[in-house]
Structure 1
């Protein structure tokens, strides 16, 4: 079984899709689109991740959809880490349709200042998520990686997931690799952080990327985190700015020399506590 730890749904009216550079992915993506891609790529289950709408209603909708979609094994929903009612929001999701499939919470940290995760109210939110038994999912920029390391160190009982390896500047080549490696190494040193081999083609040259552009970033991640703290993620349909779902899966498989069970299955199951039939 192969598990994709990171895929999205959205509709064409999501505000962030208004960027002219995103014309090729500005359309509705739903369950049937996902199923077509899963069949083509030979993927069995996915984790559905919030898609930047920034509304509680999106998580409610995604949980209900997941409850009716056997291919979706878990949902990482959006919530504001600074919401004083965060515990109640989580409880409300769990009480609704598909609530048992809520496995994590993701705020759009990348849209905040670099020290956002150091704020006391944000740390309180991270603790609330952890206390609920959920993963704290981190979508961050490279400049925010030091704050991720500090937060993970301050909350050793929380499970943190680093999306897209912290969004290294793959398009910058060796410079981007050096910058990212220095920033991500302290994150990888925290045993409660798992990282996703996801979103990499979107950080490369969309029109001219090659597997060799991605290779040093993937190999460095394996060296720093170890395969038991890495998960494969397609980042579909964001990946379609540069590559198809199948091309992304094949690129990671080529670099790794196969589909190791931990990266393509067991790490996702243990990190998100997925119930797989």
Structure 2
């Protein structure tokens, strides 16, 4: 079984899609599109991740969609980490349709300053997510990785998932690799952090990327985190700025020399506590 630990659904009216550079992906992406790509890429189950609408209604909609879509094994919903009522928000989602499929919470940390995760109110939100038994999913820029290392050390009871390997500057080649390695090494040293091998084509040159551009970043991730703390994610449909779903899966498989069970299956199950039939 192959599990894609990171995919989205959205409609063309999401505000962030208005960026002129994103015309390639400014359209509706629904379950029918997802199923076609899963069949083509030989993927069996997915984790649906909040898609930047940043409202509670999206999480409710995604949970209901997941409840009606056997291919979606779990949902990482959006919630504001600075909301003092975050525990109640999570409880409300769990009480609704598909609430049993809520496996994590993700706020758009990448939109904030580098030290955002050091704020006491953010730390309180992360602790509330952990207390609810959910994963704290982190989408961050590379310059925010030091804060990720600090919060992972200070909240050892929380399970953290680092999206897209922390968004290294793949376009910058060796310079970007050296910069990112220094920043991500302390994060990888924290045993409560799992990282996603996802989103890499979006950080590379959209029109000219190659498998060899991605290889050193993936191989470094394997070295630092180990396969048992890595998960494959397509980042579809964001990936379509640069590559198809199948091209992304093929690129990662080529670099890894196959589809190791941990990266493509068991790490996602254990991290998100997925119930796979």
TM-score, length of structure 1 as denominator length: 1.00
Q: Partners of 2:99 and 2:116 in 1: how far apart?
A: 28
Question: Equivalences for 1:1-277 in 2 at 5 Å?
Answer: 1-277=1-277
Per-residue Cα deviation, 1:129-170 (whole angstroms, up to 9, x for no partner): 000000000000000000000000001010000000000000
**3-state SS, counterpart of residue 150 of structure 1:** helix
Deviation for aligned residue 1:233:
0.1
Per-residue Cα deviation, 1:187-211 (whole angstroms, up to 9, x for no partner): 0000000000000000000000000
Question: Would you say how many aligned residue pairs link Structure 1 and Structure 2?
Answer: 277
Gaps spanning 5+ residues in structure 1: where? none
Per-residue Cα deviation, 1:58-99 (whole angstroms, up to 9, x for no partner): 000000000000000000000000001100000000000000
Q: Partners of 1:206 and 1:115 in 2: how far apart?
A: 29
Q: Partners of 2:57 and 2:179 in 1: how far apart?
A: 37
Gaps spanning 5+ residues in structure 2: where? none
Deviation for aligned residue 1:219:
0.2
TM-score, length of structure 2 as denominator length: 1.00
Deviation for aligned residue 1:46:
0.1
**3-state SS, counterpart of residue 103 of structure 2:** strand
